């Protein structure tokens, strides 16, 4: 006996949560996930290391990359996953897999360490993955306004910049809603007038 209706196929979608180490990615995922965030690990061997400098270390090296993720059941047939990117942006091999088929990305920003998110923004722009910037206000304090952040990051004027409290479920929900609205708007615009 299956609890799944015969009509309609189950499917899933994902949103990528990026940002520097300690910016609150797992906190954001946990505030809205229906499960305690889980961690999945991937193993990379030296063949795929790329920019990592292994010259100091003889022999074949492996690196383990950990990603935290959460789950939201949108309805009976649709599950949304939120994947946090690995803390170190040098693990690009995993980012490829993360962005493949993603709805878009949330780039979390700590305004005291703005530069931490540069690599993520570069990556998403290069892959043409829609993203928004979410300024995490750790203690209710926002040290720069949205326009300052937009200027400092030199991002296009149509990329949404929002403030959030990653610990707060409603706040996280609103960030995700803003991202999906943005993706839908872009999609409709392009569908009408292909570039």
Partner 1 sequence: MPERDEPTGALVRPYAVTRGRTRPKLEIALEALVETTVRGRSGIRGGQGGSEHQYIAAMCDGGRVQSLAEIAARMQLPLGVARVIVADMASDGLVAVYEPTSLDDETDAVGTELLERVLSGLRRL
Q: Closest approach of Cβ 160 to partner 1, in Å?
A: 14
Which three-class secondary structure state does DSSP give residue 138?
coil
Which three-class secondary structure state does DSSP give residue 192?
helix
CB 172 within 8 A of CB 166: yes
Total binding residues for partner 1 by CB under 8 A? 51
Convert residues 45-84 into a mask of x (bound to partner 1 by CB under 8 A) and - (unbound). -------------xx--x-x--x-x-xx-xx--xxxx-x-
Tell me if 162 contacts partner 1 by CB under 8 A: no
Q: Who contacts 89 (Cβ-Cβ below 8 Å, separation ≥6)?
A: 95, 119, 120, 123
Best CA proximity match to 161, nearest among 192, 182, 186, 187 = 182
Q: HSE (CB half, 13 Å, CA atoms) of 127? A: 21
Stretch that binds partner 1, among 36-44, 116-124, 133-141, 149-157 (CB under 8 A): 36-44
What does the binding site for partner 1 look like in residue numbers (CB under 8 A)? Answer: 1-4, 9-14, 32, 38-43, 58-59, 62, 64, 67, 69, 71-72, 74-75, 78-81, 83, 97-98, 100-103, 169, 173, 176-177, 180-181, 183-184, 187-188, 190-191, 194
């Amino acid at each position: 006996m299956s609890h799944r209706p015969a009509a309609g196929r189950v499917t899933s979608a994902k949103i990528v949560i990026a940002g520097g180490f300690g910016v609150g990615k797992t906190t954001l995922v946990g505030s809205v996930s229906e499960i305690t965030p889980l961690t999945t690990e991937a193993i990379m061997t030296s063949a795929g290391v790329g920019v990592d400098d292994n010259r100091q270390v003889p022999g074949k090296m492996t690196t383990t990359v950990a990603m935290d993720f959460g789950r939201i059941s949108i309805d009976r047939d649709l599950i949304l996953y939120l994947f946090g990117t690995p803390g170190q942006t040098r693990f690009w091999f995993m980012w490829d897999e993360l962005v493949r088929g993603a709805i878009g990305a949330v780039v979390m920003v700590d305004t005291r360490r703005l530069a931490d998110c540069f690599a993520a923004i570069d990556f998403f722009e290069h892959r043409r993955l829609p993203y928004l910037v979410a300024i995490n206000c750790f203690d209710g304090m926002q040290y720069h306004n949205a326009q300052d952040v937009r200027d400092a990051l030199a991002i296009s004027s149509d990329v949404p910049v929002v403030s959030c409290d990653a610990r707060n479920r409603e706040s996280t929900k609103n960030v995700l809603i803003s991202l999906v609205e943005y993706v839908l708007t872009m999609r409709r615009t392009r569908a009408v007038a292909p570039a």
